[in-house]
Chain A
Amino acid sequence: MTAAPVSGALVLAAIALPALGGVATWPLRGRWRWRVAATSVVASSLATLALVLAIARSTGAVTLQLTGPTALPLTLVADGLAAALVLTVALVGTAVGAHALFEDRADPRRRHRGHWPLSLLLWSGLVSLGLVGDLLSAYLLLELVGLCGALLVTFRGGRAPLLAGARYLVAELVASLTMLFGIAIVWWQAGTVTYAELGAALADAPLGWVGLAVITVGLLVKMPLAPLHIWLPAAHTQAPTAVSPFLSGVMVKAAVIVLARLWFVSTPELLTTDAARLLGGLGGVAVVWGSLTALRSAGLKRLVAASTVSQLGLLLLSVPLVGDGALQGWTGALVLVVSHGVAKAAMLLAVTCMAESAADAEVVLVGHRDAQPMGHDPELHRLSGSATRRPVALLAFGVAALSLVGLPPTGGFIAKWYLLLGAVALERWWIVAVILLGTLLTAAYLTRFLLPAFATPEESPPVRAWDGRDVIALLLATSTLVFGLFPRLLVDLVQVGAPVSGA
């Protein structure tokens, strides 16, 4: 084998470029801010994609030791797990960045000054989070991205976004404190927080297992797992349009990746069958809960947020499969991380465009406080005729919807295929049942929107049926078709350094 293609310089570039670029926009104004932001988005995107390619070309997990001026040597692990998150960040970040840049090209001053620093810092934090090899760094990074996320939610200004951001922050803090408490116990018992050493160190330290359990609870709140998700719909709904795709598509995966690294890479032997089943069962509840919420949500962004809760449950559902050594479960879950991230972000970008052509964008997206959620869909009906008004955006929405439901030829289908294959091979019929039920419910709540979309609109369509943002949404949605038609791209990537080898 030749030298590992993943180099320290590449990893540093992928982490540092977005952060530096983001900070560099801070003192600038007007066109210069726009130019620096554009350059940063392009550079960050190239660096992150290069990192993903490098991981795809390596044959196993690559561990890098960064010894710097700090006391702690920092371990970074570049494997399929990291690649899943990094790839999602790269694709969604690029699209969301392009969306914001397109909106700002006429008047960059409308965008909140903190937008670029915070969102690019978020980008950098998420890339690092995928790579870091110890619990304490993961904790610090989760803290960082949580703070960035909560602040970004408030940027639209006004009472509702502030409230949503505050609730988000409180949830983050509760989760962080829980996690920190758990980490303290683990450190005390194991004397280390590096993933690679935890398994051996905790092998016969039952109190340390309690620590792991506490960390897990913290991560589940951060994720969030239904019914701990009450803060999520408001936050994702109130966030600016150039932020919520990133929150829904990528942010929610951060805790999932840490969870996977903790249980499957670091301490797989400590994950008992019962614990795995419990996590899977909670995931199953979340699938149904989120879908039922989405079935009766008022407002399109709320619907999409509830759908996120449901899809996160689907991810947890893979825990018992991977716990029993099914490579299919691992592959399915990580393919889902990428394909859901991309599809969900594309969907939110498309929704923004379609709402603009509707009678009252705000109501369509956010919903009334006193809306009647059941039966009538006054908010969604305002979007009727989107097929005529915003055909490109609707196409993007449709393709993203296919992926969320799990219909071919999309990445979502590949994920579902692997999850089902794993569940059937292990004869976990309840998991099969939940996956299929989730499929049907997802189709049901998405058609709530797709049905009025094909209605013939009463008034004549607006002059512009699409602009650059519609195309950006469509391009992002198309990437899920690429994953569905050439699934080896994704499957081989996420299997790099997989901790399980097959069932």
Chain B
Amino acid sequence: MSGGGGLLLALMAASFLPAALIFPLPEAWERTRRTINLVGAGVKVVLVLVLAVGVFTGAQYELRATFLPGIDLVLKADPIPVLFVFLSALLWFTTTIYAIGYLARGDHRSRFFGFFSLCVASTVGIALAGNLVTFLLFYELLTVTTYPLVVHQGDEKARAGGRIYLLYTVTGGAVLLLGTVWLQALAGTVTFGDTAALSALAGQERAALTVIFVLLVTGLGVKAALVPLHGWLPRAMVAPAPVSALLHAVAVVKAGAYGIVRVVHDLYGAPLATELGVLTPLAVVAAFTIVYGSLRALVQDNIKRRLAFSTVSQLSYIVLGASIVSLVSVTGALAHLVHQGVMKVTLFYGAGILARNYRITAVSEMAGAGRRAPVTMTMMTIAALGKIGVPPTVGFVTKWHLGLGAADVGQDWVILVLLASSALNAAYFLPMLSRAWFAREEEVPDHPAPASAAAALTPQGVRITGSSVRAKLREADLWLLFPAVLTGTSVLVLGVLAGLPFSPIDWAEGIARVLFEGRP
């Protein structure tokens, strides 16, 4: 263990400990559970900040333990992992707040928050994994710990969704395992970032390396929802809104996309991957997924399903950017890891509030939502405009970089895909927004449906904000609204401030520069 391993250990402990503490809590101990949750999430944010500062000032963080003969488990805080950990820590924090509010009256909350914590803890492991074996362990742990969250509602639909989820992810996991084992047999343990190791084998093991690449990306592609491996994602929508938010922004799908980025750039390296000729097919699949996901989103009436297909489409921006070998587009891809997370989490927070407090679950029911839930709809609008790619949101920043990078290396077709996708995004988001803001509503009650449930929780919020604001915020209690406002505004703020140092795009550019030009 080299210096700084202690910080990583603390980070893992801050992730796993809340789970261990929450599971045995009696259902009624709401306050204790809430405290553990918030303290865990808060401590993690602080630790991640310390970690990020450390990494920027050149400190090395590594934690290493012998696992099997010849195989170490490695956690290592390189810039890409830190970017992802940063995202997951912040969004976990907001989602925890949101989930506490959302499930205030639910059953099995100890079970839910226990697995919720485990799920995010696995994500931290995935982010920091220093080699493929470590990555695989946490990746599978994520599969398992997400399952109880997907089936949390316990009804027939939830279980059907859970079955499909397991079918896809366990199969994907098996394919990923095969790829990992094969690589292990071929090259031993390869550390992420050590792309020379595989390049050295390119001469005699060309075919094997190509097949392994396909296996790895296919296995990861299930979680990243590459078409045609995306079928589980829309059905996992049966999960409660905080789970969907987490699933779509930080945990499951992001783990897949993040894994693909690492395999391409930290395991194979762009030069080797280009030489094997695997990147262009990957880019084509990603482009197809972008268009296909948008087309399917167009015809969904259920809000969460529409958002799910939108996720299918948006995730592939990351894959697409990663498979175009240009500094600018890789920058866009890495930044989109964060951007997509922030936008999508906002949309799901909003969808959750609409469903829970107004019983609005379909686009066709959204008439008048803007008047009844102005704050929620404002945030959803910002995020949706971001998805379309309207400046100055973060979505625009991503698309700009992706297109610019593709043009740099002569892949002009990518720009067409981006344009088509933006048009489609507009086509499925704008009707939703216009209906919410402008459509005339038909005889709907003027107050939030379960007003009593919301009122029971507002006192905590009141202490922070004062009673004058309270009247305006009747649409939902602050546990639900605060996270949405926070992430919604950051869609805008991060976009406006994209040029400043330490913005996601600046961060991503620094990483991409190291990938392409070696250590500065």
Separation of A403 and B9 alpha carbons in the complex (Å): 26
| B 185-196 to A, binary, CB cutoff 8 A, 1 in contact else 0 | 100000000000
CB atoms of A408 and B137 under 8 A apart: yes
**Which A residues between 428 and 469 are near B, CB-CB below 8 angstroms?**
432, 436, 439-440, 443-444, 447, 451-452, 454-456
A387 near B162 (CB under 8 angstroms)? Answer: no
Known contacts A408-B137, A424-B182, A425-B185; is-contact A443 B68 (Cβ 8 Å): no
Q: Report yes or no: B154 in contact with A455, Cβ–Cβ below 8 A.
A: yes
Give B345-375 as 1s and 0s: 1 = Cβ < 8 Å from A's Cβ atoms: 0000000000000000000000000000000
Interface string of A368-403 (1 = CB under 8 A from B): 000000000000000001011001000000000010
Kindly state whether residue A491 has any CB partner on chain B within 8 Å: yes
B173 A407 Cβ-Cβ under 8 A: yes
26 A-B contact pairs sorted by A residue (CB < 8 Å):
A385-B154, A388-B108, A391-B111, A405-B170, A407-B144, A408-B136, A409-B141, A413-B140, A417-B68, A417-B177, A417-B181, A420-B178, A424-B181, A424-B185, A436-B175, A436-B178, A439-B170, A439-B174, A440-B170, A443-B170, A451-B162, A455-B155, A455-B159, A456-B153, A487-B68, A488-B67
Q: When chains A and B are docked, how far (Å) is the Cα of A417 from the Cα of B132?
A: 13
Q: Is A414 on the interface with B (CB-CB < 8 A)?
A: yes
B66 interfacial by beta-carbon distance below 8 Å: yes
Most buried by B among A388, A447, A491: A447
Please give, as numbers and ranges, the residues of chain A lying within 8 Å of B141 by CB-CB distance: 408-409
Q: Is A50 an interface residue (CB 8 A)?
A: no
**Does B148 reach chain A (CB closer than 8 Å)?**
yes
Also in contact, A491 and B184, with CB within 8 A (given A407-B173, A440-B170, A454-B159): no
Further contacts, 17 of them, CB under 8 A, given A407-B173, A455-B154: A385-B154, A387-B154, A405-B170, A417-B177, A417-B181, A420-B181, A421-B185, A424-B181, A425-B185, A439-B170, A439-B174, A451-B159, A454-B148, A454-B152, A454-B158, A488-B67, A488-B68
Known A-B contacts A424-B185, A440-B170, A451-B151; the reply to A402 vs B162 at CB < 8 A is no
| Contact call A436/B181, Cβ cutoff below 8 A | no
B129 nearest CB across to chain A (Å): 12
B143 in the interface (beta carbon within 8 A): yes
B171 engages A420 (CB within 8 Å) = no
Are B143 and A407 within 8 A (Cβ)?
A: yes
| Smallest CB gap from A454: residue in B | B151
Taking CB atoms, residues of chain A closer than 8 Å to B66 are 488
How many residues from B make CB contacts under 8 Å with A? 36
In whole angstroms, what is the CA distance A487 to B72 when docked? Answer: 12
In the complex the two chains form, what is the Cα distance from A432 to B174 in whole Å? 11
> Given A387-B111, A421-B181, A491-B69, are A436 and B151 also a contact pair (CB < 8 Å)?
no
Q: How far is the CA of A377 from the CA of B444 in the complex (A)?
A: 43
Interface centre among B66, B136, B159, B175 (most CB of A within 10 A): B159
Q: How far is the CA of A240 from the CA of B181 in the complex (A)?
A: 41
In the complex, A436→B158 CA distance in Å?
Answer: 27
Given A407-B140, A454-B154 in contact, is the A420-B68 Cβ separation under 8 Å? Answer: no
Least Cβ–Cβ distance between B473 and chain A, in angstroms: 32
| Residues 231-252 of A contacting B (Cβ, < 8 Å) | none
Given that A388-B108, A455-B154 are contacting pairs, would A440 and B171 also be in contact in the complex, using a CB cutoff of 8 Å? yes
A408 vs B178: C-alpha distance when bound (angstroms) = 14
Q: In the complex, A408→B177 CA distance in Å?
A: 11
Q: From residue B182, how far is it (CB to closest CB) to chain A in Å?
A: 5
Q: Name the 3 nearest CB pairs between A and B, nearest first.
A: A456-B154, A420-B181, A408-B137
Task: List chain B residues, Cβ under 8 A from A408.
Answer: 136-137, 140-141
**Does B513 have its Cβ within 8 Å of any Cβ on chain A?**
no
Kindly supply a per-residue 1/0 record for chain A positions 70-114, scoring 1 wherever the CB is within 8 Å of any chain B CB and 0 otherwise. Answer: 000000000000000000000000000000000000000000000
Complex partner residue of A402 from B68, B144, B178, B184, CB under 8 angstroms: B144
For the complex, is B163 an interface residue (Cβ under 8 Å from A)?
A: yes
**Chain A positions within 8 Å of B153 at CB level:** 456
- In this assembly, does B205 line the interface, its C-beta being within 8 Å of a C-beta of chain A? no
Is A447 in contact with B166, judged by CB distance below 8 angstroms?
Answer: yes
Give CA–CA (A388, B110) in the complex, Å: 12
Q: Are B68 and A456 in contact (CB under 8 A)?
A: no
Task: Tell me the bound Cα distance from A58 to B107 in angstroms.
Answer: 53
Per-residue interface assignment for chain B, residues 175 to 217, with 1 indicating a CB less than 8 Å from any chain A CB and 0 otherwise? 1011001101100000000000000000000000000000000
Binary interface profile of B, 429-451, with partner A (CB < 8 Å = 1, else 0)?
Answer: 00000000000000000000000
Q: CB-CB < 8 A to B181: which residues of A?
A: 417, 420-421, 424
User: B159 to A452, Cβ gap below 8 A?
Assistant: yes
Q: Is the CB of A456 within 8 A of B174?
A: no
With the chains together, A388 CA to B68 CA distance in Å?
37
B178 near A432 with CB under 8 A, answer: yes
B212 to chain A, nearest CB (A): 10
- Measured CA separation A399–B285 after assembly (Å): 36
How far does the alpha carbon of A21 sit from the alpha carbon of B170 in the complex, in Å?
46
Shortest CB distance A327–B (Å): 10
B177, A420: Cβ atoms closer than 8 Å: yes
Interface pair B68/A451, CB less than 8 Å apart: no
Indicate with 1 or 0, residue by residue over B98-120, a CB within 8 angstroms of chain A CB atoms. 00000000011001000000000
Question: Whose C-beta in chain B lies nearest to the C-beta of A401?
Answer: B144
Q: Taking each of B158, B166, B175, which has the highest tally of chain A beta carbons within 10 Å of its own beta carbon?
A: B166
A440 CA to B158 CA in the complex, in Å?
A: 21
Give A408 to B152 CA distance when docked, in angstroms.
22
- Whether A421 and B108, one on each chain, are in contact in the complex, defined by CB atoms closer than 8 angstroms, is no
Distance between B481 CB and nearest chain A CB, rounded to angstroms: 29
CA distance A405 to B166 in the complex (A): 12
In the complex the two chains form, what is the Cα distance from A417 to B140 in whole Å?
A: 13
CA distance A424 to B173 in the complex (A): 17
List of A residues within 8 angstroms of B140 by Cβ: 407-408, 413
Residue of B nearest to A427 (CB): B185
Q: Cβ of A447: which chain B residues have Cβ within 8 Å of it?
A: 163, 166
Most buried by B among A414, A417, A440: A417
A425 to chain B: which residues have CB within 8 Å? Answer: 185
Of the candidates A417, A436, A454, which one forms a contact with B162 in the assembled complex, judged by CB atoms under 8 Å apart?
A454
Residues of A within 8 A of B158 (CB): 454
Would you give the 0/1 interface string for A408-420, flagging 1 where the beta carbon is closer than 8 Å to chain B?
1100011011001
Does the CB pair B108–A387 fall under 8 Å?
Answer: yes
